[in-house]
Amino acid sequence: MGPSMTDLFNPSDEHLALRRMVRDFAEKEVEPQAAEYDRTEKFNHALFRSLGDLGLLGITVEERFGGSGMDPTAAVIVHEELSAVDPGFCLAYLAHSMLFVNNLQQNGSDDQRKKYLPGACSGDLIGGMCMSEPGAGTDVLGMSTTATRDGDDFVLNGAKMWITNGAIDDTTLGDIFLVYARTGQTRADVSLFLVEKGTPGFSLGQRIKDKLGMRASPTAELVFEDCRIPASNLVGTEGHATLHMMRNLEIERLTLAGMSLGIARRSIEIMNNYATERKSFGHALRDFGQIQRHIAESYCEYMAGRSYVYHTANQLKLGSSGNRVDSDGVKLYCAAMAKTVADRAIQVLGGYGYVGEYTVERLWRDAKLLEIGGGTNEAHQKNITRDLSKRLTLK
Ligand SMILES: Cc1cc2nc3c(=O)[nH]c(=O)nc-3n(C[C@H](O)[C@H](O)[C@H](O)COP(=O)(O)OP(=O)(O)OC[C@H]3O[C@@H](n4cnc5c(N)ncnc54)[C@H](O)[C@@H]3O)c2cc1C
């Protein structure tokens, strides 16, 4: 047997095989379509389904419900590799496989898992998660969507904003959503519900167009008007969904940080190659100190972020919420790092960096979302500082 190839970033042979498989798929199938779907702001439904064939849509789901039964590190690997070629497509994958699928796996009942997870893992169903509203984002517990008990049903009223996979084209809703709604008077009195496309009173509001980046992932407003759903669609206990929300935000932030890693790695590869090939004043660009600074600092910051992300991923236990400082921390650090690295890549490529053909301008546009979605930088700063106030001495 040869030496083991495993390391912090691929802690087992299974992780290594997963990374190779996803990288191969990403380069052959995802990369060729990325620029076109960005430009046209379309969601590539057929490509998304092929993620189901590869077992990636239910990466953290138990095998008995159609999943691959892997851990948070595996989820980060998939996000890093897909995002290195197409962050927009990867965001649609994240909303489905982490925000809907993993959320239901962790927080749903066996009946709910049996009903929805096999279809969601195969790609027959496209899912999303509805937390944000037109009037409440960072202040998520300030949500105003309500769910009122009426006999054996709940009746939902309100609107959800910015929902990834909310619509898969201009007129078609995604298939199935986890929706947070207020079920009582206090701010924390929030419950989680499954709502299917086709439920009367559930409709598509505006399809959000002309985003700066992440244009290959569809974003929409969803509207609930006297939308009646059976009480069996309540996920977990009534009034206790803030716990589900916190649990799921940890893996969401971790995998968003994994996406940042993909953007940074690709940007470094592009600027590194370009700096070798491009000549100026009779020298390769990489001979100039200012260019060396762009490349070297980018590499070190990427490796620092990468180490932090995989260290945090290797410690995260599915279904628990225990390390909010670092799930906020990896996202706060890596989002800014990816944006800075993509920016440096544009600088190194000069005018060529500014046009689509050279990819880095798309990566830079996509990187910006990671400072907003899944929690803004300011929200992470607030959370980290609050949590650190409880442990003034660090281990
Ligand atoms: C492309 C995209 C996809 C998304 N996908 C989803 C999805 O699938 N599901 C979902 O539920 N949501 C989704 N979101 C919503 C996203 O999570 C919110 O945009 C984000 O939480 C910020 O909320 P907001 O936009 O309402 O901004 P606001 O909360 O209004 O914030 C505006 C600014 O004020 C700052 N701010 C707010 N409160 C404070 C404070 N206390 N201290 C300091 N600064 C503060 C913010 O940091 C920000 O800079 C998505 C958003 C985008 C853009």
Alpha-carbon distance 95 to 161, whole Å? 14
User: What confidence category does residue 322 fall into, taking pLDDT thresholds of 50, 70 and 90?
Assistant: confident
Strand positions, DSSP E, the chain:
127-130, 146-150, 153-164, 176-182, 190-196, 202-207, 219-230, 234-235, 279-280, 283-284
The per-residue pLDDT for 3 is 65
The per-residue pLDDT for 323 is 81
Strand positions, DSSP E, 185-305:
190-196, 202-207, 219-230, 234-235, 279-280, 283-284
Nearest CA among 376, 390, 266, 387 for reference residue 332: 376
Nearest CA among 139, 166, 164, 84 for reference residue 367: 84
Cβ burial of 338 (10 Å; 0-12, 13-18, 19+) is buried
| Average predicted confidence (pLDDT) for the chain | 96
Characterize 186-207 residue by residue with b for buried, 16 or more Cβ atoms within 10 angstroms of its Cβ, and e for exposed.
eeeebbbbbbbbebeebebbeb
User: What confidence category does residue 2 fall into, taking pLDDT thresholds of 50, 70 and 90?
Assistant: low
* pLDDT tens-place string over residues 28-62: 999 999 999 999 999 999 999 999 999 999 999 99
DSSP-derived letter for residue 239 is T
Residue 128 Cβ < 6 Å to ligand 1? yes
* pLDDT tens-place string over residues 365-383: 999 999 999 999 999 999 9
Residue 174 — φ and ψ, nearest 5°? -65, 175
- Number of the ligand 1 atom closest to the C-alpha atom of 164: 8
User: What confidence category does residue 270 fall into, taking pLDDT thresholds of 50, 70 and 90?
Assistant: very high
Residue 125 Cβ < 6 Å to ligand 1? no
Say whether pLDDT at 1 is over 60: no
Among 41, 252, 361, 371, the active-site one is 252
Given 3.30.470.20, 1.10.357.10, 3.40.50.920, 1.20.140.10, which CATH number is that of 241-388? 1.20.140.10
Mean predicted confidence (pLDDT) in 305-319: 95
Cα angle for residues 66, 67, 70 (degrees, 5° grid): 160
pTM of the predicted structure, to 2 decimals: 0.98
Residue 385 Cβ < 6 Å to ligand 1? no
Say whether pLDDT at 320 is over 80: no
**Sign, CA torsion 294/295/296/299:** positive
Q: Which of 12-21, 51-60, 218-227, 310-319 has the lowest mean pLDDT?
A: 310-319
What six digits make up the tokens of 251?
């893996």
Alpha-carbon distance 395 to 392, whole Å? 10
- Number of the ligand 1 atom closest to the C-alpha atom of 132: 11
Given 1.10.3720.10, 3.40.50.300, 2.40.110.10, 3.60.20.10, which CATH number is that of 128-235? 2.40.110.10
Residue 367 Cβ < 6 Å to ligand 1? no
Q: Catalytic residue at 81?
A: no
* pLDDT tens-place string over residues 115-163: 999 999 999 999 999 999 999 999 999 999 999 999 999 999 999 999 9
The per-residue pLDDT for 395 is 75
- CATH fourth-level superfamily of 13-126: Acyl-CoA dehydrogenase/oxidase, N-terminal domain (1.10.540.10)
3-state class of 190 per DSSP? strand
**Residues 85 and 34: beta-carbon distance below 8 Å:** yes
User: What confidence category does residue 331 fall into, taking pLDDT thresholds of 50, 70 and 90?
Assistant: very high
* Per-domain residue ranges of the chain: 13-126, 128-235, 241-388
Say whether pLDDT at 204 is over 90: yes
What six digits make up the tokens of 354?
């500014």
